[in-house]
Amino acid sequence: MFIGITQRLILNESYYEEREALALDWGKLFAHSNLLKDFLPLPLSYEFPFNLYKKHLKAVILSGGNDLNCYNPNALSLKRDAYENEIIKHCLRDEIPLLGICRGAQIIAHFFNSTLISCQNHTQEHHIINTQGETFKVNSFHNYAIEKLGKDLSPLFFAEDETIEAFKHKNAKIYGLMWHIERKEGLNENTLLKEWLESIRR
């Protein structure tokens, strides 16, 4: 079964070339994690309409990298925002499980009218707290945090500064995590990933 993954958009600096890039960490995660052993990652190209991929996918991950265009306006972030917003619409309409990681969580939150703010000390390991008060150590690599969720989303984890580190949609199979599950310390808390994967298998 394929899980589609959106890629980072980068501009090569030695000569002009726009590139799509997916960190090798994603391949390692799918190859070595028992949680994902039933799935193959399928990197999504921005040059193909998502509708062409949809029939081959069991779920979609919106990966990290690049700020949202509203915070760092440029052609690449604009292109990525437009593509990922279309994915969110398809996943809502067709009940396709969707997981946002870091930037992916930010664009899902933004799509559902959440409030994001510039943040400090979110580019290092830090602790997150669930709604039962349990604490976990995770990685962190973002400059913007979710301050308040839109009415369709429910918070699941918070940072120590009370910004929102994880959430889910109240009705759809849509989750957002601000830490990177594919990097070191990314699976210290894996109940949400398990829950999302179970929604795919169902």
Active-site residues: which are they? 102, 180, 182
Cβ-contact 71, 85 below 8 angstroms? no
Alpha-carbon distances, residue 8 vs 61, 65, 81, 121 (angstroms): 12, 5, 11, 23
Alpha-carbon distances, residue 157 vs 12, 105, 133, 143, 181 (angstroms): 36, 13, 9, 18, 15
Residue 166: its H or E element: strand 164-169
